[in-house]
């Protein structure tokens, strides 16, 4: 899932104005689970900051 910061802001704004997750997903053309993921990350970080330090490096060979 790679979502632009502008889209994250749009998702959060719609959710904070009372739009349901299902309607936000439809409006932004993403899955409802993506909306839920974005919102949970927003609540954890209290902002739109990407957590790049958590990116997995993959399996070591």
Let me know: does 6 contact 27? Beta carbons within 8 Å.
no
The pTM of the full predicted model, rounded to 2 decimals, is 0.72
Q: Is the pLDDT assigned to residue 56 strictly greater than 90?
A: no
State residue 44's pLDDT score. 87
State residue 53's pLDDT score. 47
| Cα 24 to Cα 28: distance, rounded to the nearest angstrom | 6
Q: Is the pLDDT assigned to residue 6 strictly greater than 50?
A: yes
Q: Which residue has the higher pLDDT, 6 or 47?
A: 6
Domain span at 32: 5-48
State residue 5's pLDDT score. 84
Q: Does residue 56 lie within any of the structural domains?
A: no
Q: Does residue 61 lie within any of the structural domains?
A: no
Q: Does residue 26 lie within any of the structural domains?
A: yes
Q: Is the pLDDT assigned to residue 52 strictly greater than 90?
A: no
Q: Does residue 55 lie within any of the structural domains?
A: no
């Amino acid at each position: 899932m790679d979502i632009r910061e502008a889209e994250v802001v749009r998702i959060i704004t719609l959710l904070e104005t009372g739009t349901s997750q299902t309607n936000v997903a439809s409006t932004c053309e993403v899955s409802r689970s993506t909306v839920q993921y974005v919102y949970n990350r927003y609540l954890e970080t209290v902002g739109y900051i990407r957590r790049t330090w958590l990116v997995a490096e993959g399996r070591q060979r």
